[in-house]
Structure 1
């Protein structure tokens, strides 16, 4: 019988610790493992193993290369397998800036099958800090929460990924007003993910999760994007169109789009790149545009069998006789967003009737400011 494993992610240690303590209390025989990565840039990590009675083991781990991946591969996974025989539940408390996806996929590996089963990915959130953190444009290096040498990620970027990948969210601290605001924000950022208090956590000893399905929940081609919503001062606006975007006009609007919203994401296509699905990912004023692979309409039908059922289902929902699965599907969340303004701004970036009639040969000659971003990433 495999041993259940639950991951606890989160930027703030007190929130994570409260969730871990509750699980240890509720599950006799549970063991928690935490790697302190403050010295990881010096290739040194401290591993702490504890149960409800206190610390069981404290060890310094030396790594050949100081990084989170090395820590998981060289120490966490072997430690989990070693303790599986005697623990009723294994709890992995991740370091502040660690995103749970990579760790979840490492645990859900062939080496551990039959010994470990990943059952939950929880993100513990500080109810006082979370609504502010998601708006912060600071890099991790500026906040003291770096997870590896040369880490250039932004705090809000990491927080968004911790929230959106999780199977459950756990609120800690603050007063009633803090909790209500946090729940309102989470209703927009992750509307289908259950939210718990740290005094009543979800069941974590059930069936194994499929990390492939977890990835599909957030990957651009298959992501479960939020819908139009308004709660108090927070608004989520969905923009869904079929026409291609003019790259130069869209590029000129990027700054306004990302500064008027706190979080935005989705998939889109440019007239100059009809075969490429592009992923839009922005948080706290920082935007990333990346190649997310080909649209199914750009592939021979024989190749469709090579993609996942979820990918084919998502394409079918968006399918149009002319554009195929090519679609503009972007979602923006922020305080007091004006849906009309967001729609008008983006609609102005679509090709006009005259430009549509000019055809793809004319589109190929448009100035494309995204070339410097996308082509650089493709050759990196």
Structure 2
């Protein structure tokens, strides 16, 4: 298939960069992730593969293994003052990458993450944590974030309601994440997805998985690998030296706010997969929306985005559904609710996206939600959501009237004092 100009520019930049290149591999199924890592080592034995075993992290111990095509070069146990993933990234992963980049600058690196680590955590650490006073990106070039998914287990993983603690694989004492949340975040942060193997249900089901991944991450390059016969050379060419990583790209729940693609509207089934984008200017009625939350997600594999409630007109509310659980949380303030001097605190892309879509009455407030599922009815979904929007008569009540509506979400999304410390951006909901 033709190469996009953006991909060509990224590859050219990567080729002219003299720093060692880092490829980050993540995935919830280690056998598949190992398969990709070993294929890369087979093609380039000089690669340094770094991985950390977090089995004993809650006891303050992590095992670090570094290997190349010739075998294991390091195998050490490291004691951490505080047993958690963040500590591991800050106290050993980044220092190890920095040390290898300094001592062996002619060798590229592959970081294979443990199955419960989300790649965005690594990106945040790379952006904000210094190693001996130096940003890690001064020492190496982050080329790509690759997530490997196992065709045989993907749907079960996305559908399970288990959390990591139930599987005894939680990464810290306070780690209450669900398994599906971890898988979704690994997939959606990737710039490259590897679909490893084939579905046990046959070729049609394998194609359905490929379409599902394309709908979940339309921004990512997808690579299909038959695990019976792996073409290591071709796989290496598709995964290394691509320059696909864009560190400025925001997290998935705020993509729509900053003008990035949040999802694609494909209401006609492709191998049974349907993707629906719902956008509207009117606010949701809090009571009617609350009443349909369970129904609208009943057939979903994934839904995400942001919304505004009539009863809380200052707040951007995140919508984050996976694995049978819906998370709602504050993403900060709508720009229209902020005093002008505070606009400069918002990301430039956020301000630009708001200006391009500004409404004289609503400002930048709007609904932007994406729903992805199997064999769902897009027309019924749209009718249900549209029925939650304010009617003409309710719009006439105005904002002061909206604030008096019965609100089942009251107190759930606190904002900072707009006159003092406005929240113009926010973290993704827990």
Q: What TM-score range do you get, normalising by the shorter chain?
A: over 0.9
SS in 2 for 1:142: coil
Per-residue deviation, residues 103-154 of structure 1 (Å, max 9, x unmatched): 1222245532321221110001101111221111111122343222232111
Q: Distance in 1 between matches of 2:50 and 2:282?
A: 50
In structure 1, list runs of 5 or more residues that go unmatched.
Answer: none
C-alpha displacement of 1:304 = 3.0
Aligned pairs, number: 379
Q: What is the TM-score normalised by the length of structure 2? A: 0.83
Aligned pair 1:35/2:59, yes or no?
no
Alignment correspondent of 1:303: 342
Aligned pair 1:211/2:244, yes or no?
no
Contact kept in structure 1, 2:304 and 2:369, CA below 8 Å: yes
Q: Distance in 2 between matches of 1:303 and 1:150?
A: 35
Give the alignment partner of residue 113 of structure 2, picking from 91, 94, 97. Answer: 94
How has the CA–CA distance of structure 1 residues 361 and 376 changed in structure 2, closer, same or farther, with 3 Å as cutoff? Answer: closer
Structure 1, 216-225 or 345-354: larger mean CA deviation:
216-225
Structure 1, 18-27 or 4-13: larger mean CA deviation:
18-27
Aligned pair 1:339/2:390, yes or no?
no
C-alpha displacement of 1:216 = 6.9
Q: What aligned pairs does 1:177-192 form with structure 2 within 5 A after superposition?
A: 177=203, 178-192=205-219
Q: Distance in 1 between matches of 2:162 and 2:251?
A: 26
How has the CA–CA distance of structure 1 residues 295 and 101 changed in structure 2, closer, same or farther, with 3 Å as cutoff? Answer: same
Alignment correspondent of 1:44: 61
Structure 1, 265-274 or 308-317: larger mean CA deviation:
308-317
Q: What is the TM-score normalised by the length of structure 1? A: 0.93
Give the alignment partner of residue 146 of structure 2, picking from 122, 125, 134. Answer: 122
Aligned pair 1:256/2:283, yes or no?
no
C-alpha displacement of 1:239 = 1.1
Cα RMSD (Å) = 2.3
How has the CA–CA distance of structure 1 residues 65 and 263 changed in structure 2, closer, same or farther, with 3 Å as cutoff? Answer: same
Contact kept in structure 2, 1:264 and 1:330, CA below 8 Å: yes
Alignment correspondent of 2:262: 225
Q: Distance in 2 between matches of 1:319 and 1:26?
A: 51
SS in 2 for 1:267: strand
Aligned pair 1:70/2:87, yes or no?
yes
Per-residue deviation, residues 236-285 of structure 1 (Å, max 9, x unmatched): 11111111111111111111122221210111101111111111111122
Alignment correspondent of 1:330: 369
C-alpha displacement of 1:77 = 1.0
Structure 1, 127-136 or 197-206: larger mean CA deviation:
197-206
Contact kept in structure 2, 1:15 and 1:171, CA below 8 Å: no
How has the CA–CA distance of structure 1 residues 227 and 79 changed in structure 2, closer, same or farther, with 3 Å as cutoff? Answer: same
Q: Distance in 1 between matches of 2:254 and 2:333?
A: 17
Give the alignment partner of residue 274 of structure 2, picking from 216, 235, 240. Answer: 235
Contact kept in structure 2, 1:44 and 1:66, CA below 8 Å: yes
Contact kept in structure 2, 1:258 and 1:284, CA below 8 Å: no
Per-residue deviation, residues 288-334 of structure 1 (Å, max 9, x unmatched): 11111111222234433332232123223432221111111111111
Contact kept in structure 2, 1:164 and 1:218, CA below 8 Å: no
Q: What aligned pairs does 1:331-370 form with structure 2 within 5 A after superposition?
A: 331-370=370-409
Aligned pair 1:194/2:221, yes or no?
yes
